[in-house]
Chain A
Amino acid sequence: MNARRVLIWAAVATAVVVPIAAAATSPLLAWRDPVYILAGFAGIVAMAALLMQPLLARGTLPGLSPKRGRRVHRWVGGALVAAVVIHVAALWITSPPDVIDALLLVSPTPFSVWGVIAMWAVFASALLALLRGRLRLRPRTWRLAHTALGAVIVAGSVVHALLIEGTMETVSKAVLCALVIAATGMVIADLSGPANRTR
């Protein structure tokens, strides 16, 4: 157990736990019913998953072989889809007209369209992963497509989250978003690296 491995895992754990814990202290929670609170936290968990995904894809996390990391990436991907569905469904239960407006891209709020775009990119990314074998995608094509969708997911989700005034605490939200962008940036940079040719 060397110090570097511990530090990396500690850093990742901190990056995920702090925003969730900070949101748990939001004064807004006192004035929301359980379903609405669930909607909010599903969104926060989804954002935390967006930090894990690029780290898992790159094999950055010590103790996880690249193959194991990709396996966990698939499971977290499934969890991400679930978190997004729960987020939207619980919001719909809380206020159906507001969610219908958002899904139809006619919401008065500026952040809704970004969330909807990110949502469809999450679904497309998962669908592509499920159909990858059937479509007989070449490894490089698959990586380009999945990474491109990942970039859309991250961009949409970050803009969505930063424009919202809600239960997430402002600084921890900004830090998490910055880390998600950095981790995703590393994956995009990897596309032109030597690893791309062997996988």
Chain B
Amino acid sequence: MEYPNTIKTFPTRRTLLAAAGAVVATGLLLPARAQGLAATPSMRGGANNYRPGAPIVDRIGGGGFWMTGTVRRAGDAALLAGQRIQIWAHTTEGHERDPQSHGATLTDANGAFRLEMPQIVPAFGQPHAHLAYDDAAFETVFLRPVMASASDTSLSADFVLLPV
């Protein structure tokens, strides 16, 4: 059977492959910037034993463990100074539900925070910490990072916050 000219010329498989390849190459070389940095979703169990309004402290309890991280804005990824981050965990000095286990700190001019707290020890099967941003300017986020090893003396967690 004789195929009409239209089937042979548009679009041939070769044309389609070339076009697809061009789109993929463009996508790999020029990543789409329209969305920007995505906001951090809250982690499962992150809000467990949360106590709102933990006081800003220089150090939680006797110290010995460093909780660090950064706070950025979603979209343009700008580092955010002066943001309040709450931290709590099961440590050598108290359970998660104990008021003295909770403290807050502010990010510095570089959007970074670091708060000294007592050594975190495994609770409910994992050595882990809880962090929260719960002020008015951005959507609330709860994080629950797990330590790689119970003998680690620091842990880091970063926030990317969505403006309200």
Contact = CB atoms under 8 A, between A and B. Distances in A.
Interface of A: 28, 30-33, 36, 91, 94-95, 97-98, 101, 106-109, 111-112, 163-166
Contacts of B114: none
Interface size on B, as a range, is 20 to 34
A107 to B, nearest CB: 6
Contacts of A33: 95
B122 A28 contact: yes
Contacts of B90: 31
Contacts of B97: 95
Interface of B: 43-45, 47-49, 90-93, 95-97, 121-127, 144, 150
Contact of A165 (B44, B45, B93, B125): B125
A31 B91 CA distance: 7
Nearest to B43: A108
B125 A109 contact: yes
A52 to B, nearest CB: 25
Contacts of A107: 44-45
B95 A101 contact: no
29 contacts: A28-B121, A28-B122, A30-B92, A31-B90, A31-B92, A31-B93, A31-B121, A36-B95, A94-B95, A95-B95, A95-B96, A97-B47, A97-B48, A98-B48, A98-B124, A101-B45, A106-B44, A107-B44, A107-B45, A108-B44, A108-B144, A109-B45, A109-B124, A112-B125, A165-B122, A165-B126, A165-B127, A165-B150, A166-B125
B124 A95 contact: yes
Contacts of B48: 95, 97-98, 101
* 7 closest residue pairs by CB, A with B: A97-B48, A164-B125, A108-B44, A108-B45, A165-B122, A98-B124, A31-B92
